[in-house]
Amino acid sequence: MIILMKTGSTQQDIDAVVSLLKERGLGANLSTGSQATVIGVLGDKTKLEGANLELMEGVEKCVPIMHSYKLASREMTPEGRTVNVGGVVIGGKKLVMMAGPCAVESEEQVREAALGVKEAGAQFLRGGAYKPRTSPYAFQGLEDEGYRILRRVGDETGLKVISEIVSHDEIDVACKYCDMLQIGARNMQNFRLLREVGRSGKPVLLKRGVASTIEEWLDAAEYIMSEGNYNVVLCERGVRTFETATRNTLDVSAVPVVRERSCLPILIDPSHAAGKAAYVAPLALAGVAAGADGLIVEVHPNPRTARSDAAQQLTVPAYKELVEKVSAVAAAVGREL
């Protein structure tokens, strides 16, 4: 449930409502917008029986939230949330660009990619240290050394570092080297991992599961937020359909749906949706046009030699061309790079 305060309600009015909620053993999520203040009620609303909230000074009305996700809902934070990662804001007017190789293969490879994407305008360096692969015989990543390489190169180039974690056992190490943690599609409903990441307090990029509905995706975000970590960004990376022309089918419609139902920022991953480098740019532009808050793109200095996902990784020159096109589309929809 949310409590909508009247325009012009005083801080004393707001404090009185929050105090009552705490007395009843409930949490309060305060969202102060330009039009109104909204207080989200966290917990079992039956504890409010007889409270007569709507009779309290400054209260306009009480509105139930029908979704299973509460903190991630648009009703809880009508003006939307932004996530600040070391000074880089995700969810504002400015689009955020994350780019780098699928997997960390060597320090030289990561540095070359990082220098290229930095010059193109990226703010984040992405790269897989641990690689959850379909085949157990495929390259699994450099693991902790991969994190260390990303951190060194990130510091050298001034890029924020984001990398995937695949187990709750990796969180402490990943937090030491990464500015943002990524939960991959395979782990979207790994609820223990989601809770532990929530307790870490680190910003999280939560990818949509390959066969998950939008509601299931937002429920997964709720697991993280319910542990007190509201720094969650969603990432649409394509879902599995009957179509085989692309690796996955990018659900562009997920962007406006999420923006309507949820307060969380959303990025597009056109690389994993496309599976082919030639399709990455058109899908990226479609995502930006639909209202995405940024892109996460795979970029490799020499994709032909890549040890994973070679077909979908862009060269550095191709990424620079993409960024120029993104800038034009962003301007057309009232955003900027």
What is the spatial distance between Cα 171 and Cα 147, in angstroms, rounded to a whole number?
11
pLDDT in tens, 273-309: 999 999 999 999 999 999 999 999 999 999 999 999 9
Q: What is the pLDDT of residue 32?
A: 82
Average pLDDT over residues 225-239: 97
pLDDT in tens, 99-144: 999 999 999 999 999 999 999 999 999 999 987 767 776 777 788 9
Q: Hey, what CATH topology would domain 2-63 get?
A: Alpha-Beta Plaits (3.30.70)
pLDDT cut 70: percent of the chain above it:
99
pLDDT in tens, 170-191: 999 999 999 999 999 999 999 9
25 close to 75: Cβ distance less than 8 angstroms = no
65 pLDDT more than 80: yes
105 close to 142: Cβ distance less than 8 angstroms = yes
CA 203 to chain centre: 8
Neighbours of 283 (CB within 10 A): 21
DSSP letter at 262 equals: B
Q: What is the pLDDT of residue 274?
A: 97
289 close to 329: Cβ distance less than 8 angstroms = yes
Average pLDDT over residues 194-214: 97
Average pLDDT over residues 197-206: 97
What is the spatial distance between Cα 100 and Cα 44, in angstroms, rounded to a whole number?
44
CATH fit for domain 83-332, picks 3.40.980.10, 3.40.630.30, 3.20.20.70, 3.80.10.10:
3.20.20.70
Q: pLDDT confidence of 81, banded at 50, 70, 90?
A: very high
Average pLDDT over residues 68-76: 92
Q: What is the pLDDT of residue 324?
A: 97
Give me the torsion for CA of 87, 89, 94, 95, rounded to 10°. Answer: 110
256 close to 234: Cβ distance less than 8 angstroms = no
Averaged confidence pLDDT in the chain: 94
Q: What is the 3-state secondary structure (H, E, C) of 117-176?
A: HHHHCCCEEECECCCCCCCCCCCCCCCHHHHHHHHHHHHHHCCEEEEEECCHHHHHHHHH
Q: pLDDT confidence of 255, banded at 50, 70, 90?
A: very high
First to last CA, the chain: 37
Q: Do the two domains 2-63 and 83-332 of this chain adopt the same fold?
A: no
Pairing of strands 88-90, 266-268: unpaired
Of the candidates 230, 274, 271, which has an alpha carbon nearest to the alpha carbon of residue 69? 230
Average pLDDT over residues 133-162: 89
pLDDT in tens, 10-35: 999 999 999 999 999 998 888 887 77
From start to end of 230-333, where are the E strands?
A: 232-236, 266-268, 294-298
Q: What is the pLDDT of residue 29?
A: 86
Q: What is the pLDDT of residue 137?
A: 67
pLDDT cut 90: percent of the chain above it:
81
Q: Which residues pair with 59 in a beta bridge?
A: 5
The two structure tokens encoding residue 230: 């509201």
Per-domain boundaries in the chain: 2-63, 83-332
